[in-house]
Amino acid sequence: MYAGLWRLLPGPWWVRVLILIVIAAAILYGLFFYVFPWASEFINPQEVTVE
């Protein structure tokens, strides 16, 4: 899968790495600001105290 993605991206190796970093950052941004807050509405952790 990763080799296919690597061959699909245009440019020399450093452009491919830059594109993959931008894609990973966009995915993480979407997860932290949209998916995780949405999912936290459905997950109700119990009140847990550790002493």
Q: What's the total number of domains in the chain?
A: 1
To the question of pTM greater than 0.95 for the whole model, the response is no
Domain presence at residue 51: no
Domain extent at residue 9: 2-40
pLDDT for position 48: 66
Domain presence at residue 14: yes
Mean pLDDT on 26-47: 87
Is 38 or 26 the better-scoring residue by pLDDT? 26
Q: 4-42: b or e for each residue (b if 16 or more CB lie within 10 Å)? A: eeeeeeeeeeeebeeeeeeeeeeeeeeeeeeeeeeeeee
Mean pLDDT on 43-50: 72
pLDDT digit string (tens) for 8-29?
999 999 999 999 999 999 999 9
Average pLDDT, the chain: 88
Domain presence at residue 48: no
Residue type, 23: I
